[in-house]
Structure 1
Amino acid sequence: MVDEAFIKSLRQEWLEKPVKIVKLKGGITNELYLVEDNEGRKYKVRIPGKKTELFIDREAEIKNLKALEATGITPKLYEHKEDTQISIIEFISGKVAKKEDFKDPKVREKTVKAIKIIHDSNVQLCNVFNIFREVERYNNLLKAYDKTILSDYPINEMLEIVKRIETEVNKDFIKLVPCHNDLLPENFVFVNDKVYIIDWEYAGMNDPCFDIADFITELDNLTNNEEEHIKQLYFGEGKNREQRRVDLYKLPARLWWALWAVMQYHVSELDFDFNSYARFQFNECLKHLKMLREKYPEVIKGISV
């Protein structure tokens, strides 16, 4: 944890006028601080965690944040310090979503609408996000570490199925759009009837079906009907190929986060139980394997898992 004097030193005006500084809870990648000046303006100071350069392209993120401001539903970037990679971002004062909120159909409606604003915005992000290359990248990074956690799960079989899923989704024509790629509930902030989407570290041009798949898999408390409601809100009628891609992306989405968590377990200094988080994600992978076996047996045919 850094001291208040360091936080104040990040902006000259914070040295000259009184500010309140509070450490924010919940970050599992970075240290986060809320700074409020004497005029009521609020800022989020983000200090990157150890070795986060393994996970995040900060240069791309900053360019993307600036491009996305035009959508009106992302926080403003006030300052980014290239030497330390510390960012000062608009703090959105509102209700941070929890997964229980998405049991409410009205919440699902307004969040899907916000996602569509991003996807339909025609904003051109500076990078492409490919979930299959990300899974490969994390798997390769983990070869430098012991098999703690990994040895308890059928990793090789999952990786083989993910390769088959890539082949399947690539049979479709896919138009890449700006995507968030990390749509967990806490990245939605509700201000009255408006929805803001925050934390764009993994943003990039991608298949919108991946964003929807990742969003749905984060909401592991949804019933089948509630999940179908999200798909209906986003796709409308007659989009069977797109809805199939959503289902197929679920396993690679969870496997990516599982491998991410194992990597964090090895390198992070943050006070967070990455062991348990990784195991939760791997158990979610097993759940999605069961879904694939039941709905798309051709994808896992011949692989014993």
Structure 2
Amino acid sequence: MLVDQWLDRLACLAGQERRVDDLPGGLTNHNYRVRTATHDVVVRISSPTTDLLAVNREHEWLNSRAAAAAGVGAPVVDYLAGQGVLVVGFLPGVTYAAADVAANLPRIARAVRRLHAGPAFANDFDIFEVQRGYHEIVIQRGLRVPEGYAALGESAARVEAALRRLPELRVPCHNDLLAANFLDDGGDIRIVDYEYSGTNEASFELGNLINESQLDHDHLVELVRAYYGRVDRRLLARAELWGLAGRYAWTLWGVIQHSVSTVDHDFWDFALERQALAASLFTSARLGDLLEDATSPSPPESSTTGPWRALRTGDEA
């Protein structure tokens, strides 16, 4: 269906003279900025194939409304239920690249904390369950996966078992904090695109955020400190392991997208890159230390002085 035919279905835009501009960057949808005499909005039109990617458009709509109420997301203007069309207010500002994420971690942490403290989301998000769902689709469709993926399963099970122990409080999470999902107008950073949003542990959000911009361990330390107000080995280990679980699952996301997506993007390269990054840690001697740290109790919050305060890569605490 042509874009104009979709726009004519929207009460906020139908019958009005409008300017329509493509917005780049969507990997699971096509985004358009639409301006009329009364509205300046982004219209997101999604492919039915995104059902294979664990995207629930009803949840995206409800969680986008919750994020807007938290003062973090864009205002929701309209939604065509069952048709994969969501309309949100256009937010002016700079769209981040990875270098911008690295330079603004304390501000990003404040935005993420606002989201996590905001209204409840409509669903849960569990990256291990997502991975298992992706794996079923891969098997059912006979899709090719990167060589060596199956061999990572045992290590992934160890990571899951560790993260299931002493779980953290679950909060409303975005779960897909790519650099391009941050907008900065010089005031508060805003967060857009809630396709994978759901209630989750904050540690997943932090570890996945660092991974998506391919930042290093020092950046993870900075982000954890900015978010929690302290740093300890357990917090760092849980964030890093959740990030690892994300890379393990997103590998299959890339495999499925390579098979079904009409978006002009090299999803096979995406899958290969995520697997290589996951395998480097799954097969590292560091994994055992992270599993141990992730299941140890955190020191009291008052211990932000002393050795915990100075914790950096390679330091002893």
Unmatched runs of 5 consecutive residues or more in structure 2: 293-317
Map 1:17-166; keep pairs closer than 5 Å: 17-39=16-38, 41-55=39-53, 56-104=55-103, 107-121=104-118, 123-148=119-144, 150-152=145-147, 154-166=148-160
Structure 1 residue 208 displacement after superposition? 0.7
| Distance change (3 Å), C-alpha of 1:33 and 1:95 | same
* Distance (whole Å) between structure 1 residues aligned to residue 290 and residue 188 of structure 2: 42
Q: Name the aligned partner's letter for residue 109 of structure 1.
A: P
Which secondary structure does the structure 1 equivalent of 2:285 belong to?
helix
Structure 1 residue 289 displacement after superposition? 2.5
Q: Name the aligned partner's letter for residue 294 of structure 1.
A: R
| Distance change (3 Å), C-alpha of 1:287 and 1:210 | same
Which secondary structure does the structure 2 equivalent of 1:54 belong to?
helix
Map 1:193-272; keep pairs closer than 5 Å: 193-220=187-214, 222-237=215-230, 239-272=232-265
The question of whether the paired residues in 2 share the 8 Å contact of 1:49 and 1:270 is answered with no
1:287 aligns with 2:280: yes
| Distance change (3 Å), C-alpha of 1:271 and 1:250 | same
Deviations 1:8-58 (A, max 9, x none): 41335534332110121111101111101135x321111112411222111
Which secondary structure does the structure 2 equivalent of 1:79 belong to?
strand
* Distance (whole Å) between structure 2 residues aligned to residue 298 and residue 93 of structure 1: 40
Which secondary structure does the structure 1 equivalent of 2:199 belong to?
strand
The question of whether the paired residues in 2 share the 8 Å contact of 1:50 and 1:268 is answered with no
Structure 1 residue 159 displacement after superposition? 2.1
Which secondary structure does the structure 2 equivalent of 1:27 belong to?
coil
The question of whether the paired residues in 2 share the 8 Å contact of 1:75 and 1:198 is answered with yes
The question of whether the paired residues in 2 share the 8 Å contact of 1:4 and 1:21 is answered with no
Aligned length: 291
* Distance (whole Å) between structure 2 residues aligned to residue 91 and residue 116 of structure 1: 23
| Distance change (3 Å), C-alpha of 1:289 and 1:173 | closer
Q: Name the aligned partner's letter for residue 50 of structure 2.
A: T
The question of whether the paired residues in 1 share the 8 Å contact of 2:31 and 2:43 is answered with yes
1:182 aligns with 2:176: yes
| Distance change (3 Å), C-alpha of 1:24 and 1:287 | same
Deviations 1:248-276 (A, max 9, x none): 11221111111111011111122222111
State the TM-score, normalizing by the size of structure 1: 0.88
* Distance (whole Å) between structure 1 residues aligned to residue 91 and residue 167 of structure 2: 37
Q: Name the aligned partner's letter for residue 213 of structure 1.
A: G
Which secondary structure does the structure 1 equivalent of 2:110 belong to?
helix
Tell me how large the CA RMSD over aligned residues is.
Answer: 2.1
* Distance (whole Å) between structure 2 residues aligned to residue 5 and residue 253 of structure 1: 37
Which secondary structure does the structure 2 equivalent of 1:14 belong to?
coil
* Distance (whole Å) between structure 1 residues aligned to residue 219 and residue 290 of structure 2: 26
Q: 78-87 or 3-12, which moves further after superposition? A: 3-12
Unmatched runs of 5 consecutive residues or more in structure 1: 301-305
| Distance change (3 Å), C-alpha of 1:295 and 1:289 | closer
Which secondary structure does the structure 2 equivalent of 1:89 belong to?
strand
Structure 1 residue 144 displacement after superposition? 1.9
Deviations 1:43-87 (A, max 9, x none): 111111241122211122222222222211101111111142211
Identity %: 24
The question of whether the paired residues in 2 share the 8 Å contact of 1:50 and 1:267 is answered with no
* Distance (whole Å) between structure 1 residues aligned to residue 112 and residue 164 of structure 2: 23
* Distance (whole Å) between structure 1 residues aligned to residue 115 and residue 13 of structure 2: 33
